Structure 1
Amino acid sequence: MRQLRQLLLALLVSLTFTGVAKAQYYEMASHMTDMLWPALSGNANYKGYVEASYLKGIGEDRVDFVDISTTQGVKFAKWFYLGVGAAVDVMLPSVDYSHHKYDASIMVPLYADFRFSVGNPSKVGANLDIRFGTAFVFDEFPTTNGYLLEDENLYIRPTLSVRFPINKNNPKQAINVGVSYQLLLNEWESHYYFDDAKAFHNVGATIGFEW
């Protein structure tokens, strides 16, 4: 169990350890570990999610994503859930480069997940899910007007979804269908100049299973 706690702390530190405000992020990650540890020890209401998304790039510079993620955490009340998760995002070019062929590339977000629920768990309800963390890009990738650089990105992703219970005997099991928005802040290089902060915006659909 001690190793599990150390692993959880390492995950939370890595997902919030961006280049700025490192001390504050580390303190936040440490507090979150203390909050989640009672649940992982069997003293709270564990809950897990698996989700898949397609996110279309919008705005001046665009990258499309196909995303698969899993989140594990604690439901502290009927209306509030806190967890940590990881995703694998396949990045797809939003434009056709006739002079060069670019294959799909990978981004890996690590995040804290805050989820707020409305309604009776045994009936159709609604969720507001907010992810906050760091997304790791492992290879330079083309955007509409430049390149998404190999770097760590601030990652924020809210999702508004409808929850459909699928098991009368176990209302914890449900399907979620929703709409997601994703924000990435990345060091970005255009075809003409270097910009040290660039926002990438995506919107799309998410479907998931919870238990």
Structure 2
Amino acid sequence: MPTHAEDRLAIRELVENWAVWRDAGDWERFATVWHPVDGWMTATWFQGPAAEFIAASREGFERGVSILHFLGGHTADIAGDRAVAQTKMTINQRSVIDGVEVDVVCTGRFYDFCARHDGEWTIVRRQPIYEKDRLDVVDPASRLELDPELLARFPVGYRHLGLAQTKAGFTVKLGLPGLTGAAVERLYVEGTEWLAGSATAGNPH
């Protein structure tokens, strides 16, 4: 059996592979990070099975949607063949708002429900936690005025990201976990229950 240290390294590699293969458009290898039956992704712009997320990501990649991920500190709680991993991350999206090119940077954590499948660690459910974000115009000489009503529609953790994605034609989900609040507290409970043997990885729907 793998040691605890080996499991930690494998889970960290799993999380890193997700970011590198997804952003590079390496779709065949990207599919291997997910649990083949239960894989589920929740994001601002997508909620559904991993296979559908891969297809949607690929379609966006091929038409030039620019969403990149960068990773930071990492920790994992492991209980047998299950784990909950948390990884500091940023989501970087380049977009055009009202004719002005912008970069939106959202800082948070990937909160991953993981399980060993056929001896390999896989992601059963990924739920980002959105802590704060910002928007910058790419050309400093450009001027952009944001719609305050649209901006106020979204939680503070992904306010600018939500606005940019809405302007790009995405339907953005409200009420996703932030740094504090009921949604993230519920997520922590679901993570604890997952490690204790719950039948499902919380309720992402």
TM-score band (shorter)?
Answer: 0.3 to 0.5
Give the TM-score taking structure 1 as reference length.
0.36
- Larger strand fraction of residues: 1
